[in-house]
Structure 1
Amino acid sequence: MKKYYKVLFLPCIISWCTSCQRDLETVPIEQQTLDVIFDPRDSAGTNANRFLYDSYLHLPGIHNRVGGDYLDAATDDAVSSNTSNTSVFQLATGAYTSSSYPDNQWPNFYAGIRQTNIFISNIDRVPLKGKLSNGTPFNRVWKAESKFLRALYYFELLKRYGGVPLLGDKVLSLADDVNIPRGSFSDCVEFIVSECDAMKDSLRTNPIDANNIERPTRAAAIALKARVLLYAASPLYNGGNIDAGNQYTGYSSYNAERWQRAANAARELIDQNVLSLDPSFGNAFLNQMSPERIFARQGGNDQSVENSNGPIGYTSSINNGRTSPTQELVNAFGMANGKSITEAGSGYDLNSPYENRDPRFYATILYNGAPWLGRPAQTYEGGADKPGGIRQQTRTSYYSRKFMGNYTSSAQYSNISHDHILFRYAEVLLNFAEARNEYLNAPDADVYNAVEAIRKRAGLDPFTLTPGLSKDQMRTVIRNERRVELAFEEHRYWDVRRWKIAETEFNKELHGKLIYKLGSGTLSYQDNPVLQMKFKAPQMYFAPIPYSEVAKNQNMVQNPGW
């Protein structure tokens, strides 16, 4: 009997594939038999390549991904300008259950895993011609790409749910037992790491050419490995298990060597010298050939980010002002001289709070007076970009600026690349610095060098750190550098959890600024509460396994507290 492409998407095969048919319907691809897709006579692999590309559709995005908002709007870095009961509001306040989790990605990623498994199991039937310049046959390259995607999908599940069912290369059918138990947290980590090690030498190498920028490279496999091991070494899993003895939510005891292992993985990529920080912080997100870029999900060449998040008062362009950065995030950005705003000698002025700040601030935040579309943004009360009334507008007097083009003097927006950057070199440096600092008794030159490279590229002067910092002091520096460097890239939500400090950081009141323009033309500033976050520990450290999965699978163990 012929096998049909349609069989991939039968919702009754296994409950986590219920979204597959819905996903496929958005893609203009025929429902073909697997014999046609993996045709032994198709040496060009035309249909197989289309099938592989189809499995990329399950990659996570970043831009306004969660119900129209950035995931960071569910952290202390931002709030949604939409005042209704948004998905990120539910995440930020704990207003969800196991049957209503707002960021349930279980069906999506298991659909991706199933599709990659089918590809891995069938691609060797296609006699692909050609090889990379290093001699690797394209069969191996494409299979390695599919394994990378599968490993990434497993990691996305792992960081949300803890240990999840591991399927190996198996493609389940109607006749199979689908009551598959969860793999332990440790087993999931080791599976992903082993896959990265096995596939990395079969992938393309950096720098990658413009025709293949969407494909994973050897650097991407190592970066994924380094991130997985960093998470595994972090307090939430490494000795801080929220449910002692629960194999699904972490390790049973602390082991410092996990930090060393994470540092070594990041160092492997650093020592290869195939990547570098882009001289321009903003360019790393807009230039598809940036030397900093490791792996991204391709987005459109459009104005989507600007239209969704730009200040609302500009009539020349569509602006919905969806994202309101918090005062807490603004305060995390230091001064151009490298000092924090509370540090003696920083030069911070309460009456001119946006002068002489860390250059990354100006590339991340649109503030009152920021040059934009030919005029200064007006986010004071009653200003063009915060007029009041019922129209959606900033709730904090700030708008998100990151990922947008240089529109300081332009009359309107133009089409630019809006890819979803999933891995970039700056994160690798910060991953290394964190892991090595946690492993050592005190930071060494390698830790300093990694952090200072980030600060130097940012344009801080001086960019050097105070010599002789303690381990705890360096930890504070690294965590703040991650916050400002990686803002709106879907790191803060997970970082605060893996550091196991969410019951403090995500249980506080968030603020914006009320800015009043006085009769003399001077401005007054006062903090204004905008949202009370709520974090229910320990249960909110992990997402609930979807209720439908627990109900259908008798071997599925729910996460603690759900």
Structure 2
Amino acid sequence: MSYYMIRNKYLTFLGMGLLFMASACNDGYEKEPVEHFTLDYVFSRVDSAGIQSRYFLNNIYLEHLYSGYNRIDGDFLDAASDDAISIDNNSPEIYKLFMGRYSAVSRLRDMEWGAYYQGIRKANILINNIDVVPFNLTYVNALGETKPLNYTMKAEARFLRAYFYFELVKRYGGVPLVGDNVYVLGDDVQLPRNTFAQCIDYIIGELDEIKDDLRSLPMSDATEFAHAPTKETCLAMKARVLLYAASPLFNEKPLEAGNELIGYASYDSQRWNLAAQAAKDLIDQYGPKGKGTLNLAQDYRNIFINFYGGNNPELIFFRPVGKNKNIETVNGPLGFSGNSLGNGNTNPTQNLVESFLMKDGKKPGESTKYIYNSVDDPFKDRDPRLDLTVLHNGSRWLNTTLDTKVGGTHNPSGAQYSRTCYYMAKFMKNYQALGNYEDDTHLWVIYRYGEVLLNYAEALNEVAIAGGMIDYKEVISSLVQLRKRAGIEPGDDNNYGLPTPETYDPIEMRDIIRNERRIEMAFEEQRYWDIRRWRIAETIFEKPLRGLSIQVVGTKTNYHEVDVLSAKFDTKRYFYPIPYSEVIKNGNMIQNPNW
């Protein structure tokens, strides 16, 4: 059925995923009435401002570009990794995700299948119809050309479609590619899954085709369109997609050899070269030595609370969350009240805390300058990012020194308590000296320059592991930039605790890069996927998640590690099960291994 045949059909917004939400204005997007529209109304031939079609596009962002803040029924996705656990003991969704208590029938919040395909369907509707709108509005594309607004709207829709496909692929492997088709209720859709390689090729092809039709940073119309993807966003996404595609789960160590639905048919080390080059292209074109529009923000904390602009050059793509204090009240420490009340949802693990380095960039226990005292004062002289990521006993918060021992002021005894004696600090405003939580702008950062540096370092180092020739200084430089911004001391060799080119060992550097990524991007929905694409989840979860037991004897506080949660990782969980309903109604749909 062509889109012309359905032009005058009413869109069933609830059933087909096209309901405009009146609350959109509260989430950084335009407000829309809750009613049904025809395609002729949305894509009007007389609407030269394209008002309704722009609302339609904004609705795709609003409904399908998710914020990771407490996304899994009040919890961060990282609480299903080894970096955190939920304060809730009553088997919340995130606990079931961590424990593997799900199936093709009993599905959980992160197992988005229909929602992403709804987003793809909406994008296709816009792609097929936007050109009939007689725009008198223009924009400047990445090539510096002035074009009608529909050019970038179509490119944005294609970007979002590619983004949704990648979200599906990293969860399920290869999925059906529907092209530009818009299916309606009653259509007999029996599409088979495309291979993993076909999906990756499609996503990369889309990004390459649309990048110049998007805007480029800095935007001249950023006040209205700062949330929109740019050419830089395309390049950042390309670098991430190719990094995943080169990773062991899909390339070197597939879950099921020869199964092209969940990985490549054979290993190819050249995929690491492609990933490294994609990241390098973005760095060279738009980093400090290129156009200079991208760089690391000076203040690590402010990456997540400052709106796009010259004072935050790190942001590449983000999801506006609005001006509120929800992050603080959901995750802030227990033991406060009124406008300082916190629920303490996200409890970082000792596993995460011990990954943070000492101030000289060395591991705890390996520094010759700073003595690590795990019993008496484990937080002294640590990587400054620790205090910006984790609240611990003795942290300053809300003009108070936190007492997080069980039964302490900020970890009271009872049904609700921090199971690790830690709370999350990241994403929140600096409340060390303030007495109350205040409404503030929050952003869910999807792509940032810091990740691009990490992607480049990882991919380039893997090229070396595979036997390729690289410049070790390139890898070291990427990590130095992050450590320098973090406040790590340069040391006598000005190498910020990293190996020199003369002492460089690619295998050792792999562990350093992975740990740096864990620290730098904690709680940004990276760790959960990283331990999967690296094929290390079963090894990671051989060990229990740990917290602290804090004991006060006289005037002395002692810290002892305790096990708080354990779960074995079944390798079938590297991919989610495809919904049972999809397998039953589509005879061509093949389920993932062992589901």
What is the TM-score normalised by the length of structure 1?
0.95
Query: Matched residues in 1 for 2:473 and 2:358: separation?
Result: 24
| Alignment partner of 1:319 is 2:354 | no
1:14 alignment counterpart: none
Paired position in structure 1 for 2:550: 515
Which residues of 2 match residues 516-531 of structure 1 at below 5 A? Answer: 516-518=551-553, 520-531=554-565
Cα distance in 1 for residues equivalent to 2:476 and 2:60: 40
* Worse overlay, 26-35 or 119-128: 26-35
Please give the alpha-carbon distance, in whole angstroms, between the structure 1 residues aligned to 2:8 and 2:587: 30
Match among 282, 296, 299 for residue 280 of structure 1? 299
Indicate the residue corresponding to 1:423 in structure 2: 447
CA distance in 2 between partners of 1:533 and 1:293 (Å): 36
Question: Using a 3 Å threshold, how does the CA distance of structure 1 residues 415 and 402 change in structure 2: closer, same or farther?
Answer: same
User: Does 2:472 correspond to 1:413?
Assistant: no
Farther off after superposition, 193-202 or 167-176: 167-176
Q: What are the within-5 Å matches in structure 2 for residues 529-540 of structure 1?
A: 529-537=563-571, 539-540=572-573
1:472 Cα deviation after fit: 0.5
Q: Does 1:365 align with 2:390?
A: yes
CA 1:544–1:443 in 2, change beyond 3 Å: closer, same or farther?
Answer: farther
Q: Structure 2: which amino acid aligns with 1:554? A: G
CA change 1:499–1:288 in 2 (3 A) is same
- Partner AA of 1:370 in structure 2: S
Partner of 2:115: 108
What RMSD in Å do the two structures reach over aligned CA positions?
1.6
Name the count of aligned residue pairs: 552
CA-CA distance at 1:419 after TM superposition: 1.6
The one-letter amino acid paired with 1:334 is L
> Partners of 1:167 and 1:207 in 2: how far apart?
34
Counterpart Cα distance in 2 of 1:263 and 1:72: 26
More displaced stretch, 307-316 vs 184-193: 307-316
Q: How far is 1:79 from its partner?
A: 0.5
* Alignment partner, residue 7 of structure 1: 11
Report how far residue 347 of structure 1 moved.
2.1
1:380-409 deviation line (CA, Å, top 9, x unaligned): 23211112112x221101000000001101
Q: How does 1:444-463 map to 2 (within 5 A)?
A: 444-462=472-490, 463=496
Bigger mean CA deviation after superposition, 415-424 or 474-483? 415-424
Q: Secondary structure at 1:511's aligned position in 2?
A: strand
How far, CA to CA, are the matches of 2:230 and 2:537 in structure 1?
34
Structure 2 unaligned blocks of 5 or more: 25-32, 288-292, 491-495
- Alignment counterpart, residue 217 of structure 2, candidates 181, 206, 213: 206
The structure-2 alpha-carbon separation of the partners of 1:132 and 1:26, relative to structure 1 and needing over 3 Å to count, comes to closer
Contact preservation (8 Å) 2:11, 2:37 = no
Give the secondary-structure state (helix, strand or coil) at the position aligned to 1:128.
coil
Q: Check 1:8–1:121 CA distance in 2 against 1; reply closer, same or farther (3 A cut).
A: farther
- For residue 464 of structure 1, report the CA deviation from its aligned partner: 4.8
Q: TM-score, normalised by structure 2?
A: 0.90
Deviations 1:455-500 (A, max 9, x none): 1111100225121221111100100011010000000010000000
Task: Measure the CA separation in 2 of the matches of 1:555 and 1:154.
Answer: 19
Residue number in structure 2 paired with 1:131: 138
Q: For the Cα contact (< 8 Å) 2:251–2:267, is it kept in 1?
A: yes
Correspondent of 1:88 among 85, 94, 99: 94
Q: CA deviation at 1:136?
A: 3.0
Q: Which residue of 389, 392, 404 corresponds with 2:414?
A: 389
SS of residue paired to 1:68: coil
Tell me, which stretches of 5 or more residues in structure 1 are unaligned? 12-16
Q: Deviations over 1:237-292 (max 9, x none)?
A: 01322111111100111111100101111111101122000011111111112110
User: How many angstroms apart in 2 are the aligned matches of 1:488 and 1:131?
Assistant: 38
C-alpha contact (below 8 Å) 1:443/1:474 kept by paired residues: no
Counterpart-to-counterpart distance in 2, 1:24 and 1:301:
18
Aligned: 1:218 with 2:240: no
Question: Which residue pairs with 1:306 in the alignment?
Answer: 328
CA contact (8 A) 2:406 2:417 kept: no
Alpha-carbon distance in 2 for matches of 1:104, 1:9: 22
CA deviation after TM superposition for structure 1 residue 107, in Å: 1.3
Which of 129, 147, 157 is the matching residue for 2:158? 147
Matched position secondary structure for 2:551:
strand
**Contact kept? 1:4, 1:32, Cα under 8 Å:** no
Task: Find the partner of 1:544 among 573, 577, 593.
Answer: 577
Q: 1:490 to 1:4 in 2, by over 3 A?
A: farther
Residue of structure 2 in register with 1:33 after alignment: 38
Residue deviations 1:56-86 (CA, integer Å, cap 9, x gap): 1201221110121100000100000001111
1:184-235 per-position Cα deviation (integer Å, ceiling 9, x unaligned): 1001001110110111101111123233211111111111111100000000
CA contact (8 A) 2:20 2:35 kept: no
Amino acid at match of 1:546: P
Preserved CA contact (<8 Å) 2:357 2:364: yes
Indicate whether 1:260 and 2:273 are aligned: yes
